[in-house]
Structure 1
Amino acid sequence: NRNQFTEEVVVKKVYDTPETEDFHESNKLLQKLDHSNIIKYLDHGKFDSPETGEFLYIVTEKGDEDLARYLKERQTNHANDNLQEMLEIFVQLVRGVAFIHSQNIYHRDIKPANVVVRKNDWKIIDFEDYAKTDTQDESISAQKVGTEYYMAPQICIRGCKDRILGNSLDSYSLGCTLLEMITDSSSLTLNGNTLAYNLVKNEESDVHNHIRKVIGEKVAMSKQSCGDLVCNLIQKSAAKRLTARCVLVSVDKILQEISVMKNPTRSRRGKCMVQ
């Protein structure tokens, strides 16, 4: 019913999914998510007409622009000029991740293209491959879902035997997303392969040296802190990756560092961004 919504929405057709109880229950759960940094799922169902045939659909809020496009427009060879802005956007993304993790929900495809801005709030979209567990320490399926450059080695590289924990998969993707935000997309490869491949097949220290090098070339302030944060997310070991809530604390400290560097005559007692 097009009169049901008072604002422009996105209607996504789902052709390859059978109409099952799981489809309805899954989308009912998404419609219950209520957070400023999560796109609102508004409706779902089945549509059938002689013109289009039969298909399932999902209705969500409409974003104004995705982060991938925004980065292309904003990033230049002087990405350090907008480090503070990138971190403030990243905080919103991490708040959304922390919220879904508190519900034992794991996105599994965090990347700039799956983040949109709507009325000044950055929101995570595309939960079609999400996983749900009863507890946060419960392993999830090894199904290979996500996007190659942002996928943790536990999912995409043979020989990585760690337990597959949903929060650690999203944490890895957050690290790759932040690295791209403060440098550029070319940072997500090393020696022609993904960072995940290099973590498993080569030395983890090589990956971390690469991360610190590209951050050092692009970032003027808080190079050490930014490098530490990204390296603590892009780890071979799932157990060593920071949780989303720990990431919020780390980013808040970096933003305070930047504020002090910009205003050395007065320190800033920042409000912690953990919410």
Structure 2
Amino acid sequence: MEVEPIMADEIVTISEMAKLHHLTRQTLIYYDHIGLLKPVSINEHGYRYYSVYQIPVLREICLLKKLGMKLEDIKKSFENRSPDTVMKLLKLQKDSVDNQIQELNKTRMHLEQRIKFYENLHEEHTIHTPLIKEIGPRKILFVPFPCEPCKNILHLTLMRAWNQLFDWGTVPSSGFGTLIRCSQFDSEDLYRGAGIFVVVPDQEYNFPGIEEIPEGIFACMYKYSFPYYKDDFLSLKEWTESQGYDITGDALDLCLLDTTFYNSEHEVDYCCLQIPVKKRSS
């Protein structure tokens, strides 16, 4: 059967085709190269011409691309096109978009937590002056120190914790510090069993190493020092006991501003040492 020739008024130049679909000429040349949409003819100067009957095809390509489809998948959909195959492609893309939304919502949550973390720094506190403060419940990932903590050991242990969280698909956006076990408070080996803690979102994760810090009353002390200085802990512990409080759990030395915030005035971390307490019965 003879194919009817395309009339002149049915021919569209590459520039017209591109303008009609808000594309560039380079895009249509690329579509030709990958076999997605080939022109009906190319003249001796290499100029491409399309048929008006290809407009619906390019229109659909543009629609699917606007919906986030990959060109490779769009090309395959035209090789075996039916309502069912297109619907399958659209459902796969919807699933992909749903997953992206879920990940973006998690990222947004971590951004909000990080913003809140820094907003809390606007509270004014007298440095190295103990106070009593109510703090809500928290979940933490705990990773023990391999030996007596120092700056290098702290950073290396912290990276172990961070990498563990990254492997779980989360972000350490709510702070970190040193946890000291209450069983060692009266021991000369204070940091036995101690380690790094990283605060994790309440709604996430029940993995090994996750511990819950219950809400309660804490004896706190804001300080410029590293989150493992023994003298800071002993000072706050002594004050707590002198004020008629009993210690009820592990101590947390939360790092609020780390090395990245050092300046000419302070070249140590800004931390908040926290010891859970209750008022001693009279």
Q: Normalising by structure 1, report the TM-score.
A: 0.20
Q: Normalising by structure 2, report the TM-score.
A: 0.20
Kindly name which structure, 1 or 2, has the bigger radius of gyration based on alpha carbons: 2
Bigger helix fraction: 1
